[in-house]
Each structure stands twice: as structure tokens, then as C-alpha cells.
Amino acid sequence: MTTIPKDSNTGGRRPVLKLAAASIASLGAAFALSACTSVAGFTPTALVRVIDASYIAPAANVYVEGKLFAGNIGQGYIGNYGTVTPSPNAAIEVTPVSGATPSVTAAATLDASTQHSVFITDNGASSTQYVVTVLADQSTPAPSGHSTFRFLNQAPRTGAVDVYMVPSSSTLADTTALCTDIAVGGICGYISFTSQTVTMVIVPTGTSVTSTTGTTITGYTSSPIALTGGEVRTVVIVDSQLTSNPPVQALIADDAD
């Protein structure tokens, strides 16, 4: 049996009653707060950013719900997240800064407390038409001790690719591909792995990496990436503009930390 110490002024009972009364009051306040559907002065928002991976389409302006969201952007542009009013049918428009390229519109569901990317590409080497896709982004950090990556292939000259995340303690030949055969326009969705320092290697699908001794691999190799846990990243793969080796470049966007 637990003994409650007595209070010299009250005979031991009033402090217990005070504590009970305070607990009841706190519980009542908690119920009152939980019943509220909104907090005065707070307006829920959605987060949106723009990623431009268009291959030949001209510089663009991006409008969300009629307001300029990103101006005069081209391939390689990754914007920061900005707030917009949630909408079940938000209007998104991409227009050329100049020239006769047609504008393109899209509609997206932008719920409160969500993140999205307006992803701009084009429809091939024979046309400068924009293609707009609205992607749902992961907004919560990866679990402790893990990192999460997503890969978007927009490298039409190179074609399908494989992606390796090579630990500093290992070699490419000993590493299993994280994503394989990502087609042009394809997405390798969010994948989590143990956080450590890695080198990202991207090669055309079909490239043999099982024996690299004395062999130059035609592919992209990043600088060492120190991952400490919680990172969520989107990697956009585009054709290299200057060389055939590496055939692609990687643009890395921060989704969450």
C-alpha cells in the first residue's frame, strides 16, 4: 500500500483534493481543445515547388491558381517549396517566356499539409511542347538511421538506367542496384536504405558492373554523399549536355530532412 505524506497544515487531505481538481480542470481543457476544428489566426496551406527537366522546351513561367509561382526557368531548375491555398482542383499553367510554344494547363488536388512538385518535361526531340505532371512528395523524414530516395528518369538520349548507391566500404561490383531499368519518363518510387556515406552511380541499363578492374564504366558517378539519417531526396536524371561519358547528370532535390 502506498502512503501519502501528510501536510502539516491540512491533515493530509487537501493537497490530494487540490491535485485532483487541477487534473480535472486540465482534462476538461484538453477535451475543449480537442473539440476545436481550427485555431484562430491559422490558415492551413499546401506546399508546392517546381522542377524543370524539360529537354528542349523553352524557358517557362509557372502559374498556380493564376499567380506567378516560378519565372523564366529552364532545365535543371529546382525551386524551394512555397505555400499555396489548398484546393481540390488547383489550376497550374506553364507558359513560354517568349515564342510560340503553346501553354499547357493541369489540375491538381492540393490538400492541406501536403507537398507536391510541379514537374515539367517535354514530349521528345521533335517537339517543344511542355508536359506537366504534379507529383506527390514525401513530407515526413525517413526513419532514424535510414535515408529515402526517389528517382525520375528524364534522359531520352540515354534511355533506361540503373541506379546504385555504393557504400564507402564497398565497390560498385559488390553492390546491388537500388533501382533497375528505369525507363525514360519512369519513376523509381521512394526507397529507404541504411544511412551511410555513399557514392551514387547511374549507368545505362544493361551495363555490366560485376567486374570493374581495369574497366572504365560509362556512367555517372557522384561525389561522396554523407547520409546521417532522416533525409528524403528526389533525384532527377537528365542527359549530359557536354559529354557522352558520363551520359547523364543527376539533379538532387531536398524533400524532407
pLDDT in tens, 30-57: 434 444 444 566 688 999 999 999 988 8
Cα–Cα distances in angstroms (integers) from residue 168 to residues 76, 200, 233, in the given order = 28, 11, 19
Q: Is residue 238 part of a domain?
A: yes
The verdict on pTM exceeding 0.85 is no
Specify if 147 maps to a domain.
yes
Tell me the CATH number at 197: 2.60.40.1120
Residues 246 and 189 in one domain: yes
Would you state the pLDDT for residue 41? Answer: 62
The pLDDT score that the predictor gives to residue 55 is 82
CATH number at residue 81: 2.60.40
Residues 170 and 235 in one domain: yes
Q: Which pLDDT tens digit goes with each residue over 50-85?
A: 999 998 888 999 999 999 999 999 999 999 999 999
Confidence of residue 238 (pLDDT cuts 50, 70, 90): very high
Cell of 61: 513561367
Better pLDDT: 90 or 25 = 90
What value does the mean pLDDT of the chain take? 85
245 assigned to some structural domain: yes
152, 90: one domain: no
Q: Which of 94, 120, 137 is the last residue of a domain?
A: 137
* Number of domains the chain contains: 2
Q: Does 25 reside within a domain?
A: no
Question: Is pLDDT at 28 greater than 70 in this prediction?
Answer: no
E-assigned strand segments in 41-81? 46-52, 60-64, 67-73, 77-78
Are 174 and 109 members of one domain? no
Residue 198 lies in a domain: yes
pLDDT tens-digit map of 170-202: 999 999 999 999 999 999 999 999 999 999 999
Same domain? For 204 and 189 the reply is: yes
Do 82 and 178 belong to one domain?
A: no
CA distances from residue 117 to 37, 46, 66 in whole angstroms, order as listed: 28, 11, 17
Count the alpha carbons within 13 Å of 180 in the hemisphere toward its beta carbon. Answer: 7
149 is in which domain, residue-wise?
141-257
Looking at the fold, whether 121 and 219 belong to one and the same domain comes out as: no
pLDDT in tens, 133-148: 999 999 999 999 999 9
